[in-house]
Amino acid sequence: MSPLTTPEATAAPLTTQELYRELLLRIGEDPTRDGLLDTPERMEKSMAFLTRGYTQNGADVLHGALFDVEYDEMVIVKDIEFFSLCEHHLLPFFGKAHVAYLPKGKVIGLSKLPRLVDVFARRLQVQERLTTQIADAITEAIDPQGVAVILEAQHLCMMMRGVEKQHSATVTSAMRGVFKSQLQTRNEFLSLIRRPGANL
């Protein structure tokens, strides 16, 4: 690939919008036509939104939402919608996250679990790493008896390019502590998130 053709490339670094304009040119478009005039600006804003997880971290999100409790039964939040971008093609993958943990003296405010998923989803990702990062963040925050995270997702990079059947989902899981060592705990979690038609 040849270096950037815009004259500014040698003088000052390109702005993000100039980069997107260049990208539009290179795929064979005319960035000066009406419909595309504001596209570089929109792309910059959109990309900043879709990757805002880089400016956040798990500890900050959970800050002030950790509570001491006696409760030691399983806590489950299922069907957490998430949207991410695959790091190989920068195309979306999206689906549902199911998160569970068995507390050991501390719990996380329930509304914070979707936020935590979002922090890691709004970055360039592979589904496997997204899954383990969520589990690790919960482990670090409250050191529970165990954590389980399952992600079911559809990947547009596979669907749009015809690599995969349109409705198949990729399932990844991270099991920690008792969810890993105790079959009964793991099965309880799985039975609570299972529904007809799902491929879990």
Q: Which residues bind Zn ion (CB under 5 A)?
A: 86, 88-89, 157
Catalytic-residue membership of 98 = no
Catalytic-residue membership of 155 = yes
Catalytic-residue membership of 127 = yes
Catalytic-residue membership of 145 = no
Whose Cβ is closer to Zn ion: residue 127's or residue 145's?
127
Q: How far is the CB of 16 from Zn ion (least distance, A)?
A: 22
Whose Cβ is closer to Zn ion: residue 160's or residue 200's?
160
Helices within the chain (DSSP H only): 8-11, 16-26, 39-50, 58-62, 112-121, 127-142, 156-159, 178-181, 183-193
Catalytic-residue membership of 87 = yes
Catalytic pick among 8, 41, 81, 87:
87
Catalytic pick among 98, 125, 127, 133:
127
Q: How far is the CB of 28 from Zn ion (least distance, A)?
A: 22
Q: Are 186 and 148 within 8 A, CB to CB?
A: yes
Q: How many CB atoms lie within 10 A of CB 147?
A: 25
DSSP output for 142-200? H--SEEEEEEEEEEHHHHTTTSS-TT--EEEEEEEEHHHH-HHHHHHHHHHH--TT---
Q: Which residue is nearest to Zn ion (CB)?
A: 157
Whose Cβ is closer to Zn ion: residue 62's or residue 121's?
121
Catalytic pick among 98, 125, 152, 155:
155
Whose Cβ is closer to Zn ion: residue 52's or residue 88's?
88
Tell me whether residue 68 is exposed, middle or buried, using C-beta atoms within 10 angstroms of its C-beta: 0 to 12, 13 to 18, 19 or more: exposed
Q: How far is the CB of 135 from Zn ion (least distance, A)?
A: 22
> Hey, which residues are catalytic here?
86-89, 127, 155, 157
